[in-house]
Amino acid sequence: MKTLLFTGLLALTPLLQGCTVLAIADVAASTVVYGVKTVVNVVDAVTPDIINKKKD
């Protein structure tokens, strides 16, 4: 089902204006960048607690 949807969207891409295609690509790239930044921040926040355990 996802393959059919992706193929349909890919087939319609030439019919769109260039600005629309660039805007869609920009949104997709921004989503990936912010997703990676979020994962890095979460790992950075959790890692010191795992490695540097307090000795009581």
pLDDT at 24 over 80: yes
- Given a contact cutoff of 8 angstroms between Cβ atoms, the answer to whether 21 and 13 are in contact is yes
Q: pTM of this prediction?
A: 0.53
From 31, 22, 28, select the one nearest 6 (Cα to Cα): 28
- Mean pLDDT over 18-28 rounds to 85
Q: Coil, helix or strand for 54?
A: coil
- The pLDDT value recorded for residue 33 is 95
